[in-house]
Each structure stands twice: as structure tokens, then as C-alpha cells.
Amino acid sequence: MRSKLLLLGVLLAAIGLASCGGDDDEAAVSEERKAAVAEHYADMVYATYGASIASAEKLQSAIDGFLERPTQAGLTAARNAWLSARDDYILTEPFRFYGGPIDDPKTGPEGLINAWPMDEVYIDYVRGEPRAGIINDREAYPKITTDVIVEANEKGGETNISSGWHAIEFLLWGQDQSRTGPGARPASDYTSAPNADRRAQYLRLTTQRLLSDLRSVREPWAPNGGEYRKTFLADPDRALTNILRGIGALNSHELAGERMAVALDSKEQEDEHSCFSDNTNADVVNDLKGIRMVYMGEAPGVAGGDSLDALVREADPELAAQLRKKLSATVSAAERFPATFERMIAAPPGSPEHKALADEIAAIEDQGSDLAKAANALDVKVNFEV
Amino acid sequence: MRGSAVAAGACACLLALVTVAGGCGGDGGGERADRALSGGEGTVDDTTGNAFALALKTLPSSERRAFQVGNSFFNRNWVTAPASATGRDGLGPTFNAQSCSSCHLHDGRGRPPEGPRDPERGLLLRLSAGDAPRPLRFYGSQLQDRAIAGVPAEGRIRISRRPVRGRYGDGTPFELQAPRYAVADGAFGPLPRDAQISPRVAPAVFGVGLLEAVPEAAVLEHADRGDRDGDGISGRPNRVGGERGSGGGPVLGRFGWKANAATVKQQSASAFTGDIGITSPLFDEENCPPGQRACARARTGGSPEIDARTLERVTFYTRTLAVPARRSVGSSVTDAGERTFARIGCGSCHLPELRTGDSDVKGLRDQLIRPYTDLLLHDMGPGLADGRPDGQATGSEWRTAPLWGIGLVPVVNRHTRFLHDGRARGLEEAILWHDGEGRASRERFRRLPARERRELVEFLESL
């Protein structure tokens, strides 16, 4: 009797495995390999947020310097610091879309860091509305404080954005009135213009807040005792799913869809990601670089480790080779865009500018299908849509 | 699955045992999963602030781009014409909100403002006079409480509230708030004495594509005009004009608090013109009632201000917004609450199940859905009545509101204000306001023991 029960138990266990994991004799990837990929990924996340914080600190000192002596040269320096810090932040975007520290449903600050599109008149004047926005509304907002900025974000409409990268971008460049260049806010907006002091305070505080939000998402990934890192590494299967979900959703839903296809369809400059600075092409390049970085497991300053690419090479070498080629081709195509993003979306169908953007969207979508195949090859069930 | 033949054979023999042992999904997992699919196969699993904002799970990638474009227009603030953003200018001249998302934030539900300085845009007032309702002199059919520069806003909404006290059957007291609405600072003088004012909050917008795909005959099946079956409930369809250019006679009204719009497109176009001041191919005249001279003179954003293609995109977006899945299906508490819901008669109007028919969108076609509405009008008694007829709906009739997703409103919209004007401060209050055809069920609820009331509410919260 005992032996029969034991046999039954063994059988049940075997079937349990078969029906739960979708695998019986041999998993596509061993737990050890998954754990190694997850650990290396966590190191990359920590380092990439670190680089983003470092350049955001430089942005903060450039802005503080400009506000101390508001000259045109100081404004240019602050803009350059924004562009450079922006590159580093965009590289962290593959760490979104799975409810990690950046977009945890309860505590994630993503909406304060990078919400978009932004109706700029919500925070400051635009052409034809010289007294508009929180900065100029002394009655409703007697004091500009961090709480005011945070509270106002997404109040009364999803494009009522008051904080983060694009608010800072608008405060540095102003409204983009030109089809050939970025916005041209004068430095006098911070000296003699109405509410210059409130504008300066707004810029100072929202930059400060951006930095503290960035620090708050890096901390949980800390190699020594980061809380989220522990949870993440404790379940390698889940980790692998999340890693693929992050790059896949960024690639297909966010980048190819929200940020590129929507703008090409609507032809509206407002649908352009970094529309005040005309930096959208660089945003595209860096998102693609971030996706490639995660897939290849190659982040600057992080010693080599196990990567998704290595796993896929073992499971399906042909697919792996093809995907590597595509991941590089999309980056170089975006680096070679023939015109600024706003000109590409405005160009008529059939023009080289329109074609360059449409082709790149198609290539990114195609790369997304390969990423889905790669997930499949690793026995990971994951959805790239949001 | 790459299982060997031997393992697969063993699996088949011992399937029953595995099920008993719990397997992976638990026993009855399949049936339980089905009950969670409030919006059919396109139902999405999301319990975050994004729960109402997702596309049908079944929507193919090729159609997701149109969904995303529509979403962009749904969220985007319209601006005063002329503007460099030519695709998005033409706001007003008078308006209630600058974008769809102002009121339907995250595709969810609005609430009444808490005071005169609250920027919340989720409540508006419909206006009329007479039994065969006609627009109000100077003010038209809706109070637009904002306007572009150089044009006067029509007035402000003023709300006063008085308490209405009662007791549950077990003696526990409760207090409801009965609101009264008036227009303050009317730009064209005080409203006439016979003005009818109907307050409406913005309802959540997900799932409307599914409701649109329910065949008219399936809805009419539940209609019981003269209460021939004598259960005190006489669901009545609203009959409204079809879309412009659709030809034919009146059709079933499905959308709006009084079911006064037949299609999602009609409802959206009517909100564009009435709420945002954006003309469309369906409603191509600016909303400037006779006598509003500055309004009539104001610059427009072209004619129409939203073109057919963009309106189509926004409509497609709204139609393909998915319903979130139920939570806690099969827990003893929610199951008990569900049985009570049925036993005290809530399901007579809040019909648990409907089936969709044909649709041009595959994910909307032939779906078993659980909206908890019959899409019909019911007399809800004098307490809820606005006294303003709308189409064939009388001043005390309201369309049964769908209940799917209602438990996620606090997560998505951070409030628990329910009913057509958001007067109820929670689900219990919403039930206690039911009167007229809902009176018998409400009385049964009021007399339930506290535990059963709690179970019923927990069931609603799981939807």
C-alpha cells in the first residue's frame, strides 16, 4: 500500500510539473541560467539609473548656475545639460512596464518623471495666452512649492502635466513655434519677464524633484540590500518574463506605437515626444539602444554576464543572429534620420522623410515580433501590448 | 508543449486525480475564470489606475495603432482657434472641458466638484423648458460654464445639499445627501422659473463597444412596458434618432444617463459639440444659442473642427476599450453577495448577462458579457428624478447603469461617488437612493442583516 501511494505521489508530481510549466523532461533554460541573467540585469539597472542620476545632477547644477546668473549663455549650458541627461534617462526606459520601482502601481513615480504629451499652457504662457499657466496664476497658486507641482500633475486632464522631463524642457526652450528649429525662450523670462521669480522657482523645484524621484527608483535595485532586487532575484522565471516584457512593451507599444506611429498618423507636433527641444530623434535612438543593451547584456561600466542573447543563441541560433542584426540596424537607421522628427511627420507620403520614419516604424514592429519569438524560444509567455 | 508521449498518456489517465489534488489552477478554475470575464474574451486583467484604459485583449497589433491614435485625441486638450496645432483648435466658444479625458479621467468616471474652487470637470447641467423639452432661451440645452477669451461663460453650477436620514432594518442609522442645483452668475440673466436642470456626471467609457453590439432584439426581449408580469418593474426602451445620414426611423437609445444616444459615435460627437465645443460631421454647428452674440462671432477652428477620420479614430478607441476582469470570483463572501443580489431582485434590471451579436470588430462579436444592465429606462422615483424629459424618457426615468468595473472606480478615479450626479458617497448610498421600480429591492436591502449587506457590497466591489 505504501509503495503504491508513493508511486502515485511521484506520478502526480510529474504531472503537476508537466501541466504547470509546459515542460516535462527538460526546460528550455535551466533555473541557474535564468538566475544569472536576472542578476546581471539587476546590475545593469542599478548602473544605468546611476548614470542617469549623475547626469541629472549635472543638469541640476547647470540650472542652478543659470538661475543664479540668468544669461543667454547660462540658458544654453542648461539646455545642453538637459540634452545630455535626457540621453542617459532614456536608456533606463526598458526597465518600465512590469510594475517595478519605476512604475509600481502604488508608488512608482514614472508619471511625475516622464509624463507626456504635455499641454504646456497648463504651466506657463504660450503665444496668445500671456497670462496662462500655474506660473502666472498667483490667485489659484499663491506659492510655487514642490507640493503644488506634484499635486497639479494630471489634474483635470491627462495632458495637464506639471512635472518631470518635459516640464523642465518647456521651461528651458519654451513653445516650439518653428518648423526648422526648437523653441526659443529668452533668458529674460528669468529676469525681467512677468513672474520671472515664480518661473525660476518652478524650474528649480521640478528639477530637484526629478532628481529625488530618480534616486528613489535606483535605491530598490541596490546590490546590497535593495528590496526590489531581492524580490526580483528570488523568482528567476518571473524575472525573465519581466525583462522581456520591459523591452517588448517599450519596443512595440510605446516606441513604435505611441511615440512614432501616432505622430506620423496625426501629423501633430504635439504628438512628438520631446517637442520643445526637437530632441525626439535622439529619444528614439536611445530607446533602441536601451532595448539592445538589455537584450545583449552589455551596459557601460558593468562587467559581462549572462544575457538574453546567450540564451536565445542556444535555443535558436538562427533567430538570435537575425535579432542581433535587427537590433543594430534599427539603431543606425534612427541615427541616420534625414530630418528632425517634426519635419518627418509633416512630410507628405512618398517623400524620403516620410518614408524614413514609416520604414523605421515597420522595422521596430518587426523587431518586436522577433523579440516575441525569442520569448517563445525561451518558453516565456509574455505580452508586449499595454 | 514538448511532453513525451508517455507523459501525455499518464496525464490523460490521472487527470481526475490531478484535479482533486489541486493541479495548478485549482478545481473549477475554468468556470471561475469564465465568471471573471466581465467583458468576454477581450477582458483585461488589470487592477491598477490603468484598468479602464486598456485595449481589448483580443485586439490585433494592426488595429492597436488606430486605438493609440484615438487615445491621443481622447486625452489631448483642444485649444482656441486659430493655433499652430490646426488639428486641435476650435475649442468652444463656450465649453465644459478641454478634452474627453478632463471628465473621463483615465477613461473612468467623473464626480461632482467639492466646492467652487475644485478644478474637477466631471459634472455638467443639461437645461430645458416645457414638457416637450425645448432649449432654454439664451442658454440652450446645456450650461457651458467656461468660454474662450472674449466670450462670456454661461454661468456657474451651484450645488446645495440637505441631509436625508433613515435607518436600516436593524436600526443602524444612515444619512444621504440630497443635492439641489442652480445656476449662479448667469451671463444672460437668471434662469426662467420653469427651467429644468438635469445634472450628469461623466460615466466611465470602457465596454461601450460591447453594449453597442448587443442586438436590439435581445434588449427589447426584456422590455415590459406596462409591467404585464406584475413584478413592479417595467423596463422601457428609449427610441432616438439614428446617426445623421443613417436614414430610417428611430432606433434603440443605449448611451447616456437617459439612453438618448444610439451609437458610440453619436454619443462621442454629441459630447464633442456639447461639452468641448468641437463641431464634427455629425453636429456641424457651433453651440451658440440665439442671443449669444459674442459666441456666434467667435473664430472657429474650421468646419468641421474634428474631421470624419479623427472622429472615427476616437470612436474606435472608445469602442475597443476593454472591460477589466472581476476579482475575488468564487470567494465565499462574494458568492454569498451575488446570491443576495439575485434574491432581492437587483438582477431584474441590472441583468447579469447579455450576448453581443455581429460587429465589424472581431473582439466585440458574439461575446458573452456581464455588464449588469438591461439598457432600458426605469422609473426611479421622485428622489432621483430630474424632472427633465429626454427623448422618450420621462423626468423620473433613468437607464439602468452598468455595474461592471464599478469596484475599480476608487483605484482609477480616487473617489466613490455614484449615480447620475455622483450624489451617493458609496455603493450603499447608491442602493439606498433606489426608488420607484427599484423600491422593492431597495427595501429588501435595507432590511438585510448587516453581514448580508456587507456581502452584497463586497460582491459589487469585485465587479
**pLDDT digit string (tens) for A228-276?**
999 999 999 999 999 999 999 999 999 999 999 999 998 888 788 999 9
Do the chains contact at A19 and B99, CB–CB below 8 Å? no
Distance (Å, whole) CA B454 – CA B333: 9
Question: Is the CB of residue A160 less than 8 Å away from at least one CB of chain B?
Answer: yes
- At residue A178, the pLDDT reads 82
Give the pLDDT confidence score for residue B24 in this predicted structure. Answer: 38
Mutation site for B-interface testing, chosen from A254, A262, A342, A378 by largest number of B Cβ within 10 Å: A262
Q: CA B93, CA B102: separation in Å to the nearest integer?
A: 17
pLDDT at B9 over 50: no
Please compute the mean of the pLDDT values over residues B378-405 and round it to a whole number.
96
Chain A residue at shortest CA distance from B309: A266
The number of C-beta contacts closer than 8 angstroms across A and B is 126
Positive/negative CA dihedral, A167, B122, B250, B363 = positive
State residue B6's pLDDT score. Answer: 33
Mean pLDDT to the nearest integer, B293-322:
95
Residue owning grid cell 463572501? B333
How far is it, in rounded angstroms, from Cα A385 to Cα A249?
Answer: 6
Mean pLDDT of B187-200: 94
Helical axes A352-377 vs A280-296, angle rounded to 10°: 20
pLDDT tens digits, one per residue of A62-71:
999 999 999 9
Give mean pLDDT, residues A191-206: 98
In which band, very low, low, confident or very high, does the pLDDT at B131 lie, cut at 50, 70 and 90? confident
| Amino acid letter for position B367 | Q
Mean pLDDT of A130-136: 94
Q: Which residues of A touch B88 (CB under 8 A)?
A: 268, 270
Determine phi and psi for B317, rounding to 5 degrees.
-55, -50
Which of A12, A22, A155 is the closest to B119 by Cβ?
A155
**pLDDT over threshold 60, residue A40:** yes
Residues of A in contact with B149 (CB under 8 A): 129
ipTM score = 0.80
Chain B contact for A155, CB < 8 A? Answer: yes
Confidence label for A17 from pLDDT (cuts 50, 70 and 90): very low
Please check whether residue A274 is in contact with residue A166, taking contact to mean a CB–CB distance below 8 angstroms: yes
What does the pLDDT average to over B191-202?
Answer: 94
Cβ contact, residue pair A18, B69, below 8 Å: no
**Each residue of B260-285: pLDDT tens digit?**
999 999 999 999 999 999 999 999 99
3-state SS string over chain B? CCCCHHHHHHHHHCHHHHHHHCCCCCCCHHHHHHHHCCCHHHCECCCCCCCCCCECCCCCHHHHHHHHHHHHHHHCCCECCCCCCHHHECCCCEECCCCHHHHCHHHCCCCCCCCCCCCCCCEEEEEEECCCCECECCCECEECCEECCCCCCCCEEEEEEEEEEEECCCCCEEEEEEEEEEEECCECECCCCCCEEEEEECCCCCCHHHHHCCCHHHHHCCCCCCCCCCCCCCCECCEECCCCCCCCCCEECCECCCCCECCHHHHHHHHHHHHHCCCCCCCCCCCCCCCCHHHHHCCCCCCCCCCHHHHHHHHHHHHCECCECCCCCCCHHHHHHHHHHHHCCHHHCCCCCEECCCCCCHHHCCCEECCCCCCCEEECCCCCCCCCCECCECCCEEECCCCCCHHHHHHHHCCCCECCCCCECCHHHHHHCCCHHHHHHHHHHHCCCHHHHHHHHHHHHCC
Cell of B133: 423639452
Q: Sign of the CA dihedral B326, B331, B335, B337?
A: negative
pLDDT of the residue at A26: 58
* Predicted pLDDT at B85: 67
CB B291 within 8 A of CB B138: yes
Cell triple for B283: 453636429
Q: Does A156 touch chain B (CB under 8 A)?
A: yes
Q: CA B276, CA B273: separation in Å to the nearest integer?
A: 6
- pLDDT for the residue A233: 97
Picking from A18, A257, A365, the nearest residue to B11 by CB comes out as: A18
C-alpha cell, B338: 451575488
Asked whether the predicted pLDDT for residue A290 surpasses 70, the reply is yes
User: Length of chain A in residues, anyone?
Assistant: 386
The yes-or-no verdict on residue B212 having pLDDT over 80 is yes
Taking residues B296-325, what's their average pLDDT?
95
Q: What is the pLDDT of residue B87?
A: 77
Minimal Cβ distance to A268: which of B21, B61, B85:
B85
Sign of CA dihedral A366, A254, A212, A193: positive
Asked whether residue B377 carries a pLDDT value surpassing 90, the answer given is yes
Q: Does residue B381 carry a pLDDT above 90?
A: yes
Where residue B26 falls among pLDDT bands split at 50, 70, 90? very low
pLDDT of residue A18: 39
Lowest mean pLDDT among A92-101, A279-288, B82-91, B287-296: B82-91
Closest in B1, B21, B65 to A257, CB measured:
B65
Give the pLDDT band of residue B10 (cuts 50, 70, 90).
Answer: very low
Region A105-123: mean pLDDT is: 92
- Interhelix angle A31-68/A227-234, rounded to 10 degrees, is 160
Least confident among A92-101, A288-297, B29-38 = B29-38
Query: Pick the residue with more confidence: A27 or B444?
Result: B444
SS3 of A158, please?
coil
> Does residue A129 sit in helix, strand or coil?
strand
Q: Which residues of chain A neighbour B50 with C-beta distances below 8 Å?
A: 105, 386
Residues A74-96: what's their mean pLDDT?
A: 98
Task: Kindly tell me if the per-residue pLDDT of B7 is higher than 70.
Answer: no
- Collapse the DSSP code of A264 into the 3-class scheme (helix H, G, I; strand E, B; otherwise coil) and give the result: helix
Which residues in A lie closer than 8 A to residue B97 (C-beta atoms)? 156-157
Distance CA B98, CA A38 (A): 45
* pLDDT at residue A38 is higher than 50: yes
A69 HSE (CA, 13 A, CB side): 6
Q: What value does the mean pLDDT take over residues B20-30?
A: 42
String of b and e for B284-307 (b: at least 16 CB within 10 Å)? eebbbbeebeebeebebbeebbbe
A271-297 in b/e form (b: 16+ CB < 10 A) is bbbbbbbbbbbbbbbbbbbbbbbbbbb
- The pLDDT assigned to A181 comes to 87
Q: What is the pLDDT of residues B410-437, one digit of tens each?
A: 999 999 999 999 999 999 999 999 999 9
Min Cα–Cα distance to chain A from B195, Å: 29
B176-205 core/surface letters (b: 16 or more CB in 10 A; e: else): beeeebbbeebbeeebeeebbbbbbbbbbb
Q: Does A8 touch chain B (CB under 8 A)?
A: yes
Using only C-alpha atoms, chain B has a radius of gyration, in whole angstroms, of: 23
pLDDT digits (tens, 9 = 90+) for B335-356: 999 999 999 999 999 999 999 9
Which of A22-26, A140-144, B425-429 is least confident?
A: A22-26
Average pLDDT, integer, range B307-333: 96
CA distance B324 to A49: 33
Q: Which chain A positions have a beta carbon within 8 Å of B98's beta carbon?
A: 119, 157
pLDDT class of B163 with cuts at 50, 70, 90: very high
Query: How many Å from the N-terminal Cα to the C-terminal Cα in chain A?
Result: 53
Which is more confident, A22 or B78? B78
pLDDT range class, residue A23, cuts 50, 70, 90: very low
Q: Which of B11, B69, B84 sits opposite A262 (nearest CB)?
A: B69
* Mutant choice from A7, A154, A266 vs B, greatest count of B C-beta within 10 A: A266
Residue B29's pLDDT band (boundaries 50, 70, 90)? low
